[in-house]
Amino acid sequence: MTASSNTDALHGLLQSVFGFADFRANQEAVCRAAIAGRDLLLVMPTGAGKSLCYQLPAIARGGTALVISPLISLMEDQAAKLTARGLRVGRIHSGLERGAARETCVGYLRGDLQFLFIAPERLRVPGFPEMLAKRQLALVAIDEAHCISQWGHDFRPDYRMLGQYLPGLRGASDAPAPVVALTATATPTVQADIVEQLGMVKPLQFIHGFRRKNLAIEVVELSIPERAGVICRLLADSARRPAIVYATSRKQAESLAEALSHVVPAAAYHAGLDAETRDRVQRAFQAGELEAVVATIAFGMGIDKADIRTVIHAGLPATLEGYYQEIGRAGRDGALSRTYLMHSYADQRTHDFFLNRDYPPVAHLNKVFAALGEEPRPVEELRSASDLGDEEFDKALEKLEIHGGARVDFGGNVTRGAAGWKKGYTTQAQYRAEQFEKVLRFVSSNECRMAELVRHFGDVADASHACGICDICDPAGAVLRQFRRVTTAERATVQSMVDELRPTSYLAAGTLQRRLELSNRDEFDALLDAMVRAGLIEIEEAEFEKDGEVRRYRKVSLTDAGLEVRPATPLPLLVSDGIADAFDAGGRPQRKQKKPKAAARKSANNETPLPPLDSAAEALAERLKHWRAAEAKQRGVPAYMVLHDRTLQAVALARPANPAQLLGIDGIGPAKADRYGEEILKLCGKTSAE
Ligand code: ADP
Ligand code: MG
């Protein structure tokens, strides 16, 4: 078949090979471009049907399509589906026996295969790319292409080398195999990076379909200890299952899964479990035996389950791309599904902790770089000679390698790379921090959640429509968040605000608050939020410089609708009022007299007394004191500089199981967690018998 094939022939293949009656939105245009031999980048959300966009063209073009995929589970899943459709498929990855791989190569060389799936690292095996190049490929598909970009959230160093192998793999210069790059999660920056790194030739870019009409997004502020209970109560309702809960750490995944398993068949899934267990969990979830999985980010890439009703984030995600992809696993059958994002101030500190861990100081990289030379030296040798800790050393070396400052060969020997790694590294670390800023802006925003996400992915035209079902568009329909009608007094305040704003183009929020003589900032903010949601005002972040310092403020202005508001205008304004009663843990009536946020934060200081310690906590406190004394002595500082008594007691009470929980404790900031976290957690993990 050629590029001029008519519609019917293509539809014929669609029906006879795949059994689909029709193309989904955008699939046909993409297929035609690929069949015509164009390079293309396809950015469509998970479940949109990207695979067809390389599979159908591959069949139409004839010969073998090479498919590069980052995960064995993904490969196996795709290969099984294609095989079931009667296609001839081979795959080569580390999970298979050597004999099987050899046989697949023979089959490939004979021209028996329509699809060959490989993992990117396979290309580093000497002779393998040459073997592939013996035949002209029909097409090269790169699945999850965002993995190539260091800006992408799943960056894989092995993907980075694809660019250097592609010219050889594409073959004939007059009619090279087209490169089809597919991803669900590329922001405009990542899109540009993919195109450049893969050396795509005049690529067509298709970016479509980020709006999910059946996902109702809810964002709720909830302290870390409250979350497990709320999640259990949410998922006790079978209409909200099956569900995926995303945790921020393995430990959190374990503890949430444990709590949930008393309510529904649930299990944890994370990279710390062995492959067999993970496989079992994935299959049980797929089969409906498990109704909830509590996972870290590692879960879901290979999941193809259409009826997921709920996705919960039990902590702030690191990027909006990751977040979007994860909530995108809900409701693929088109039925209404809800997603909940739980966050609190403590999540920010956790995130800073992880950021510092994942992006070590440049000084660490400098140290490792300085130890490298022209002569290859074994990693272990360098590691033990370094005054960095083992993990610190490995992290620094990994970053150096990614940014070209070190070269590691197959035998584990390292040589010095180029000196220019620093710029790339710091840019990347900064980019990561900015990505998280965007998440923070997302949770604190008062704009339609879906519209914000769509805009984030670069579909500006589509971002002007509000979804109508998120907690911002439809506060009354929110499940976890509770909203109440404004009181008469609040309605009067709103009127005063409107009257103050009417004659001006904008007022600074602080000025407005002062003019109205409102002493409580949180109540004032709650009203502003309610007015934004109702479309009466707009708030814009702005900054000015004073005494050499940049100060930020919020510009408040009336919208057209706001201009119309008179005292007699009926205004069903809804004010955010914590969490709905049904989900509030029993026996916490004090919640009704809602603590304003600032006050809640202040109680992090030393005013409120801590509950008495039980015997286990007492024993832990003793161990902590012991350790603290030794630490203080070693550093030559007073004990309180290591940990305040109060912080020590709080740790003993909370017995944190992971860095996230540790950071949730008052008095433990990123610096303390960095310095002592490991030791404290070790002490907390021991039982008193030890
Ligand atoms: P993506 O890679 O974009 O996440 P997939 O390619 O795995 O999505 O497709 C998701 C699901 O949609 C698969 O079950 C696939 O069989 C189905 N699908 C794809 N295209 C069509 C179509 N034109 N008609 C019906 N189902 C389709
Ligand atoms: Mg896919």
Listed by start position, the domains of the chain span 3-207, 359-431, 475-604, 615-689
Model confidence over 111-150: pLDDT tens digits? 999 999 999 989 999 999 999 999 999 999 999 999 888 7
- Give the pLDDT score at 604: 35
Residues 6 or more apart from 504 whose CB is under 8 A from it? none
Q: Which atom of ligand 1 is nearest to the CA of 23?
A: 23
Residue 81 alpha carbon, nearest atom of ligand 1: 16
Regarding the beta carbon of 49 and ligand 1, being less than 6 Å apart is answered yes
**What is the pLDDT at residue 608?**
44
Chain segment 2-41, per-residue pLDDT in tens: 444 455 789 999 999 999 999 998 899 999 999 999 999 9
Instruction: For residues 82-108, give the mean pLDDT.
Output: 93
| Confidence band, pLDDT 50/70/90 cuts, at residue 152 | low
Q: Whose CA is nearest to atom 27 of ligand 1?
A: 49
Single-letter amino acid, residue 613: L
Q: Residue 154: its pLDDT value, please?
A: 67
CA of 465 to the centre of ligand 2 (A): 27
Please tell us whether the domain made up of 475-604 is placed in CATH 1.10.10.10: yes
What is the per-residue pLDDT for 149? 83
Q: Is the dihedral of CA 526, 532, 535, 537 positive or negative?
A: positive
Ligand 1 contact, 47 CB (< 6 A) = yes
Residue 690 pLDDT: 43
**Separation CA 604–CA 600 (nearest Å):** 7
> Is the CB of 50 inside a 6 Å radius of any atom of ligand 1?
yes
CA of 329 to the centre of ligand 1 (A): 13
For the segment 520-532, what is each residue's pLDDT rounded down to a tens digit?
988 999 999 999 9
Q: Which atom of ligand 1 is nearest to the CA of 143?
A: 2
Considering only CA atoms, which of 273, 275, 272 is closest in space to residue 95? 275
| 274 Cα–ligand 2 center, Å | 24
Least confident of 116-120, 123-127, 282-286, 649-653: 649-653
Q: Is the pLDDT of residue 689 over 80?
A: no
pLDDT score recorded for residue 88: 97
- Span 544-588, pLDDT tens digits: 888 888 788 999 999 999 999 999 998 888 898 888 888 887 534
Nearest CA, atom 15, ligand 1: 49
Of 74, 28, 88, 78, give the one whose Cα is nearest residue 53: 28
Average pLDDT for 302-307: 80
Task: Please give the structure tokens belonging to residue 374.
Answer: 């022209």
Ligand 1 mean position, distance from CA 261 (Å):
32
Topology of domain 615-689, CATH: DNA polymerase; domain 1 (1.10.150)
Instruction: State the distance from the centre of ligand 1 to the C-alpha of 451, rounded, in angstroms.
Output: 24
Taking CA atoms only, the protein residue closest to ligand 1 atom 17 is 49
Q: What is the pLDDT of residues 40-89, one digit of tens each?
A: 999 988 778 999 999 999 999 999 999 999 888 889 999 999 999 999 99
Greater confidence (607 vs 617) lies with 617
Ligand 1 closest atom vs CA 51 = 6
Residue nearest to atom 13 of ligand 1 (CA): 49
> Which ligand sits nearest to residue 43's alpha carbon?
1
| CATH numeric code, 359-431 | 1.10.10.10
Q: Can you give the pLDDT at residue 408?
A: 84
Average pLDDT, the chain: 87
User: Does pLDDT of 308 surpass 80?
Assistant: yes
In short, whether 205's Cβ falls inside 6 Å of ligand 1 is: no
Band (151; pLDDT cuts 50, 70, 90): low
Which of the ligands is closest to the CA of residue 145? Answer: 2
Mutate to test the pocket of ligand 1, among 20, 67, 142, 185 (most ligand atoms within 8 A of CB): 20
Token pair 């009067």 is found at 492
Residue nearest to atom 26 of ligand 1 (CA): 20
Average pLDDT, integer, range 86-111 = 93
Q: Which atom of ligand 1 is nearest to the CA of 78?
A: 7
Ligand 2 centre from 80 Cα, in Å? 14
pLDDT of residue 87: 97
pLDDT higher than 90, residue 653: no
Q: Is 44 in the pocket of ligand 1 (CB under 6 A)?
A: yes
Q: What is the mean pLDDT of residues 474-487?
A: 91
Ligand 1 atom, smallest distance to 21 CA: 24
User: So what's the pLDDT on residue 298?
Assistant: 64
Residue nearest to atom 2 of ligand 1 (CA): 50
Which residue type, as a one-letter code, is found at position 582? Answer: A
pLDDT at 160: 83
Asked if the model's pLDDT at residue 652 lies above 90, the reply is: no
3-207 folds as Rossmann fold (3.40.50)
The DSSP symbol for 45 reads -
Query: 46 C-alpha vs ligand 1 centroid, how far in Å?
Result: 9
What is the SS3 assignment for 19?
coil
Ligand 1 pocket member 52 (CB < 6 A): yes
Cα three-residue angle 227-228-229, rounded to 5 degrees: 90
Measure 50 CA to ligand 2 centroid, in angstroms: 6
Closest residue to atom 9 of ligand 1, CA basis: 49
Q: Band the pLDDT of 452: cuts 50, 70, 90.
A: very high
Whether the domain at 3-207 and the domain at 475-604 fall into the same CATH topology: no
Closest CA to 157 of 333, 367, 393, 399: 399
**Ligand 1 centre distance from Cα of residue 191 (Å):** 22
Strand 507-508 relative to strand 549-558: parallel, antiparallel, unpaired? Answer: antiparallel
The answer to whether 215 touches 327, Cβ cutoff 8 Å, is yes
